[in-house]
Amino acid sequence: MSSLYPLKFDPIFKDKIWGGNKIHTILHKDFRPLPNCGESWEISAYADDISIVNQGHLVGKRLDDLIEEFKGQLVGERVYNKFGNKFPLLVKFIDANADLSIQVHPNDEVALKRHNSFGKTEMWYIVQADEGAELSSGFKSPLTRQQYLDNFNNGKLMDMLNIEKVKADDVFFLPAGRVHHIGKGCFLTEIQQTSDLTYRIYDFDRTDDNGNKRELHTEESLDAIDFTYHDQHKTLYEDKINEVVTLVSCEYFTTNKLHFNQPFDRDLSNLDSFIIYVCMEGGLKLEYDEGFVELTKGETLLLPAAIDKITLTPVGEFKMLESYIA
């Protein structure tokens, strides 16, 4: 066994025009001195936002440096061969104290051509939602590019969107190209490709402290939108206890939900990938050959690929997301 172990990182807090205080009140994270916190980046190796280890003998090390040092032992040989020193996922909590902009993310092809970047396919897991909270995902009826343009130019963007009421434990998968927005009162976990590319379509005419509106990306977004119609936008799943329930499985990541009230032995020897665990409720002890680490609500952990057998022991019970590259 290498000197790798299950890694926790300092959150990277983001002050947003629409941010609130749930990252503190629900997850007990201290984002001072920020006035609010719209996002807590839990694991990131994007641009200058690099996660830094906060426990164990690797404390103070940057995630990108660890990948360079440990390579496939950390991320998996297959994953390293594909992505090299780039960490392929970004995990964050998002607190929408006001509506986020209506937006779309480009796919890999568009992102590479325009920005030399990954695209942004993502998923949302609703941690908490205020009564009446909504979000949008996709269009509510089939429409062509021209019909979209006509409606958009006539100020009828909102009329085209599929609006969903949300509650805790709801899941939404948003492939790149799907128009969407997070509505006021939604508090969620986002698992996504490592990218921060967002084309803002509409921002509710809001202004910043200086009276300036945020930039819109009308032309860029038009070429990024996938107009394919889908009649089901919420991910349907059965919340089974003491079983691994797959929520999303796509080429960019697989995410499972683990809801357990009894110890669980997990054999990961066939995976050949790092795993990201995000504890949504309760707490647990994660044991491996060389020791153990405890995880509580709101904490995120990176399990190196070199650790391929673990035991998860609940403290009471826990709900946790498990994400990896399949």
User: One-letter amino acid identity for 133?
Assistant: A
| CA angle 51–53–56, rounded 5-degree value | 170
User: Is residue 105 within 8 Å of 119, Cβ to Cβ?
Assistant: yes
Query: How far apart (Å, rounded) are the C-alpha atoms in residues 121 and 254?
Result: 12
User: Is residue 21 within 8 Å of 95, Cβ to Cβ?
Assistant: yes
User: Is residue 40 within 8 Å of 12, Cβ to Cβ?
Assistant: yes
Catalytic residue among 78, 200, 206, 214: 200
Provide the β-strand partners of residue 146.
Answer: none
> Terminus-to-terminus CA distance in the chain, angstroms?
23
Residues 6+ apart with CB under 8 A from 309: 265, 266, 267, 268, 269, 288, 289
- Phi, psi at 161, each rounded to 5°: -85, 145
Is residue 33 reached through a cis peptide bond, with omega within 30 degrees of 0 on the bond before it?
Answer: yes
For residue 108, which of 98, 124, 119 has the smallest C-alpha distance? 119
Query: How far apart (Å, rounded) are the C-alpha atoms in residues 285 and 278?
Result: 13
> Is 200 one of the annotated active-site residues of the chain?
yes
Provide the β-strand partners of residue 9.
Answer: 53
Element (H, E) at 259: strand 254-260
User: Is residue 320 within 8 Å of 295, Cβ to Cβ?
Assistant: yes
Q: What is the DSSP letter of 52?
A: B
For residue 16, which of 193, 206, 197, 162 has the smallest C-alpha distance? 206
Active site residues: 200
